[in-house]
Amino acid sequence: MIKIHQLSKKYKGADYFSVMDLDLHVKEQEIFGLLGPNGAGKTTLISMLCSLIKPTSGSFSINGRTFKENKNELKQLIGIVPQEYSLYPTLTAYENLAYFGSMYGLKGSELKNSIDEHLEILGLTRFAHKKIDSFSGGMKRRVNLIASILHQPKVLFLDEPTVGVDVQSKNVIIDHLKQLNAEGTTMIYTSHHLNEAENFCSRVAIIDEGKIISKGIPSDLIAKQANAHNLEDVFIAITGKALRDHA
Amino acid sequence: MHKLIASAYKETLLLSRDLGGLAILFVMPLVLVITITLIQDSSFKTINDTKIPVLVVDLDKGSVSQSIFEGLSTSNSLEIITKASEEEAKRAVFNGEYQLAIVIPENLSAVLQKKVNYNVEGILAKFGLEEDSLQIAESVPKRMEIILYFDPATQQSFKSSVKNGIDRMISQIETQSIYKAFQEQLSEDEEEAIFETERFISYKEMVPTKDSKDIIPNSAQHNVPAWALFAIFFIIVPLSINMVKEKTQGTFVRLRTNPVHYATVLGGKTVVYLTVCLIQFSLMLIIGVYLFPAIGLPTLDVAGRLPLLFTVAAFAGLAAIGLGLLLGTVAKTQEQSAPFGATFVVILAALGGVWVPVFVMPKFMQLVSNLSPMNWGLNGFYDVFLRNSNLKEILPEIGLLFMFFIITTVISIVYNEKKNAI
């Protein structure tokens, strides 16, 4: 589904590569977790895959297509749940969703049904006509997710979709994502919640300093690592305890 | 088309939720037009109706000073206050109590008469009509000066008009004196009129006409289009802020991942902000037609001109929106877009002739002025309001405004594509 070949990114003015010579193959209907410390290159990788930033070198394809050749077709195929709330605060949840759904070409009853269905599943129906700036963090996260999945994308990029939300919101979000995956959506997911990743992802890659240093099925990685009881133990064992601060 | 409509609807919602912004968009231009027209109209009235007090020190007490007094009195714009001493008048003016003092020097009438006699007798002697010309030639009268004291804060234009007025009066007095001297020399009978001394050449001001009526410009005809244009161009500030907000809120990131062309996003904004411009303009016309007469200002005459006025306003609005889209595309923060936008509009207005007419600018600035879209818009409005032009005659101006919109929008799209190329 997603094939990445020797992908690198060095930001203008930086003296290091955020992503370096990365090779990866994500299969169809996988939930692939990208795990790593701050500044490891997770968001940079997702941003390149979503056409938000230009790679310095290397290439990738999604479902056999590239952005250079099939830009709009590919954009229709993917969805991105950004780390920041990408919503208009003075518009209601429904107005935000109607607008972003329209940008994917949805209209009329198809658009309305999709919005209503997702609002219902994520427990937001009674807040549909309230402005986003009156929402809690968890509610905004859920609307942020719906705005990215209204058009039923084949591939969904999730950049820390549950950061800063309560357990209840997190569970609703994760359950809905699992449901979407079961219906055929491939997912690339980044998070610092390693327990969540362990349960949610079918495969994970641990990235540090722009490179994949380990990848596999979470249970296999735990089994291979001596004295590891969970993914967090594996993560610490591989990446160490040193801080990763970049400026 | 569906995406364009959705974008326009979203922009409408965003604007309608920002009541403060809407108030600024619609109320401030109206306040601006009313304030400026009141000030300018009262300035005209000050010149035409109100008398400016002028100090006159008459040390001459002769026919010349009498003529000057008469000339100043008939100007209708000056109130003459006589002072006994030059020092007293000078102090009052330099203290800012009065704008102007005129000091007529001692013996001015006598010396002027002497000079005129000297010239006339000299001429007559050349024709052999004067017997003692050699005696006259030895007593050439010295030059004399009327002294003007101006308050240093006085505007240059007022100074110039006073100086020109006094100069004209003196020339007239000199001419009259010459005629009189010739009369005395050539005729025994003082009552006999040898010369016709009335002015031979006068002038008549011709103005454009509409339906056989003269189009007489008033302060409303000048101010409403000029300041309406200024307000229309101020749309670039909220528009660019709207675009920068999308970047800082993260919604622009989402839009970049959506299968929608940047031109569609800009198209939605263009439709809504152009509507705002036209509503702004309509409100300003309504104010000019209905409110101005109610508050003692001249009425804005829009009869038979509305379609052309809205055509110019629409194209001026497009030019302003193009600029706003470009600024919003390039700027990264509101701190960049808002001050730059506001200052740039003021510069464009200054260059465009909104404050100072283009013809009084230095040659170089006149050339630069041709590059200001506000100049094209203002000329378009003046063509319709004051020159009675038709659609064909305003095509050059609206063509330039449209080209400006196209060029700025294309630059915005190309810049965005290049910046986000993958």
pLDDT digits (tens, 9 = 90+) for B122-171: 887 777 765 554 455 456 677 888 888 988 877 777 788 778 888 888 88
* B55 three-state secondary structure: strand
Task: Find out whether B359 and B378 touch, Cβ atoms under 8 Å.
Answer: no
Six-digit token string for B315: 């194209």
In a domain, A245, yes or no: no
Number of domains in chain A: 1
- Residues in chain A with CB shorter than 8 Å from the CB of B422 are 51, 53-55, 67-68, 71
* Lowest-confidence region among A96-110, B7-21, B312-326: B7-21
Chains A, B: CB pairs < 8 Å: 83
Nearest CA-CA partner of A213 in A34, A9, A14, A10? A34
Which tens digit of pLDDT belongs to each residue from B262-309? 999 999 999 999 999 999 899 988 988 888 888 877 777 777 888 999
What's the confidence (pLDDT) of residue B376? 92
A153: in domain: yes
B166 Cα distance to chain centroid: 25
Q: Which residues of A touch B421 (CB under 8 A)?
A: 54
Residue A247 lies in a domain: no
Determine the pLDDT at residue B323: 93
Q: Radius of gyration of chain A from Cα atoms?
A: 18
At B79, phi and psi to the nearest 5? Answer: -110, 120
Q: Give the pLDDT score at B396.
A: 92
Q: Is residue A246 part of a domain?
A: no
C-beta separation of A10 from A58 below 8 A: no
What's the burial of A64, exposed, middle or buried (CB within 10 Å: 0-12/13-18/19+)? exposed
pLDDT at A222 over 50: yes
Sign (positive or negative) of CA dihedral B38, B39, B40, B44: positive
The answer on pLDDT for B317 being more than 90 is yes
Of B10-14, B50-54, B68-72, B350-354, the range with the lowest mean pLDDT is: B50-54
DSSP assignment, residue B258? S
Judging by DSSP bridges, how do beta strands B78-83 and A155-159 pair with one another? unpaired
User: Which tokens is B292 given?
Assistant: 């101005």
Which residue among A79, A90, A103 places its CB closest to the CB of B260? Answer: A103
User: Looking at residue A114, what is its pLDDT?
Assistant: 92
| Torsional sign, CA A195, A135, A84, A147 | positive
Residues in chain A: 247
Q: What is the pLDDT of residue B134?
A: 47
In 10 A of CB B49, how many CB atoms?
A: 10
Tell me whether residue B192 is exposed, middle or buried, using C-beta atoms within 10 angstroms of its C-beta: 0 to 12, 13 to 18, 19 or more: exposed
User: Where residue A146 sits, what CATH number does that domain have?
Assistant: 3.40.50.300
Burial A73-99 (b: 16+ CB within 10 A, else e): ebbbbbbbbbbbbbbbbbbbbbbbbbb
Task: Tell if the CB–CB gap between A75 and B18 is shorter than 8 Å.
Answer: no
Q: Which residue of B has its CA nearest to A147?
A: B254
Banded pLDDT at B183 (limits 50, 70, 90)? confident
Can you say how many angstroms the Cα of residue A102 is from the centroid of all Cα atoms in its chain? 22
Sign of the CA dihedral with A166 first, then A170, A172, and A173 last: positive
Q: Residue B322: pLDDT above 90? A: yes
As a whole number of angstroms, the distance between CA A145 and CA A177 comes to 9
Q: With cut-offs at 50, 70 and 90, classify the pLDDT of residue B208.
A: low
The pLDDT score that the predictor gives to residue B175 is: 84
User: With 90 as the cut, is the pLDDT of residue A223 above it?
Assistant: no
Res B47: pLDDT: 52
Q: Residue B210 — pLDDT band, cuts 50, 70, 90? A: low
At A68, which amino acid appears?
K
Residue ranges, CATH 3.40.190, chain B: 51-186
User: In this structure, which long-range contacts are made by residues B48-52, counting pairs with CB atoms below 8 Å and at least 24 apart in sequence?
Assistant: B48/B76, B48/B77, B50/B77, B51/B76, B51/B77, B51/B78, B51/B79, B52/B77, B52/B78, B52/B79, B52/B99, B52/B100
Q: How far apart are CA B98 and CA B53, in angstroms?
A: 7
Sort out which chain B residues have CB atoms less than 8 A from A131's CB and list them: 17
Percent of chain A with pLDDT over 90: 24
Flag if B3 and A102 touch (Cβ within 8 Å): yes
Q: Is residue A49 assigned to a domain?
A: yes
Nearest chain B Cα to A48, which residue?
B422
How is residue B82 annotated by DSSP? E
> Cα distance from B331 to chain A (closest Cα, Å)?
18
Q: Would you tell me the crossing angle of helices B236-249 and B262-286 to the nearest 10 degrees?
A: 140
Q: Print the SS3 string covering A68-107.
A: HHHHHHHHHHEEEECCCCCCCCCCEHHHHHHHHHHHCCCC
Q: Does B258 touch chain A (CB under 8 A)?
A: yes
Query: Which among B10, B14, B254 has the least Cβ separation from residue A82?
Result: B254
Residue A132 domain boundaries: 2-239
Closest CA of chain A from B9, distance in Å: 9
Amino acid B137: pLDDT:
47
Residue B32: other Cβ atoms inside 10 A: 17
pTM of the entire structure? 0.76
B2–A72 CB contact, under 8 Å: no
The pLDDT of residue B410 is 95
Q: Which residues pair with B370 in a beta bridge?
A: none
Residue of B nearest to A51 (CA): B422
Tens digit of pLDDT for each residue in B31-40?
888 887 777 7
Angle, helix B262-286 to helix B219-233, in steps of 10 degrees: 160
List of chain A residues whose C-beta atoms are within 8 Å of the C-beta of residue B258: 75, 100, 103-104
Q: Within a domain: residue A210?
A: yes
* pLDDT digits 0-9 by tens, A75-132: 888 999 888 888 999 999 999 999 999 999 898 899 999 999 999 988 899 999 999 9
Q: Do A103 and B422 touch (CB under 8 A)?
A: no
- pLDDT value of position B311: 94
Query: Residue type at B381?
Result: F
Q: Is the pLDDT of residue B46 over 60?
A: no
Nearest to B13 among A51, A67, A91 (CB): A91
pLDDT at residue B130, as a whole number: 57
- Where does the pLDDT of residue A10 fall: very low under 50, low under 70, confident under 90, or very high at 90 and above? confident
| Contact at CB, A84 and B253, closer than 8 angstroms | yes
Task: Assess whether pLDDT exceeds 90 at residue A171.
Answer: no
The full 3-state SS of chain A, as one line of letters, equals CEEEEEEEECCCCCCCCCEEEEEEEECCCCEEEEECCCCCCHHHHHHHHCCCCCCCEEEEEECCECHHHHHHHHHHHEEEECCCCCCCCCCEHHHHHHHHHHHCCCCHHHHHHHHHHHHHHCCCHHHCCCEHHHCCHHHHHHHHHHHHHCCCCCEEEEECCCCCCCHHHHHHHHHHHHHHHHCCCEEEEECCCHHHHHHHCCEEEEEECCEEEEEECHHHHHHHCCCCCCHHHHHHHHHCCCCCCCC
Q: Distance, in angstroms, between B14 CA and closest chain A CA?
A: 7
Averaged over A27-47, what is the pLDDT?
Answer: 87
In B174-250 the beta strands, taken as DSSP E runs, fall at 209-210, 213-214
Residue A241 has a pLDDT of 67
pLDDT score at B138: 55
* Residue A177 C-alpha, separation from nearest chain B C-alpha, in angstroms: 19
ipTM here: 0.83
Question: Do the Cβ atoms of A102 and B13 come within 8 Å?
Answer: no
Asked if residue A193 lies in contact with residue A141, where contact means CB atoms within 8 angstroms, the answer is no
* Mean pLDDT lowest among A122-126, A238-242, B92-96, B224-228: A238-242
C-beta atoms of B3 and A147 within 8 A? no
Select the residue of B2, B10, B257 nearest A51 (Cβ to Cβ): B257
Q: Which of residues 163-202 of B touch A (CB under 8 A)?
A: none
- Summarize the confidence of residues B59-66 as an average pLDDT: 86
Q: Which residues of A touch B260 (CB under 8 A)?
A: 103
Over 50: is that where the pLDDT of B330 sits? Answer: yes
CATH level 3 topology of B51-186: D-Maltodextrin-Binding Protein; domain 2 (3.40.190)
Average pLDDT, chain B: 83
Mutate which of A100, A143, A149 to disrupt the B interface (most B C-beta within 10 Å)? A100
Q: Are A88 and B14 within 8 A, CB to CB?
A: yes
Higher pLDDT, B197 or A91: A91
Q: Which residues, listed in sequence order, are joined to residue A33 by a DSSP beta bridge?
A: A189, A204
Nearest residue of A to residue B18 by CA position?
A90
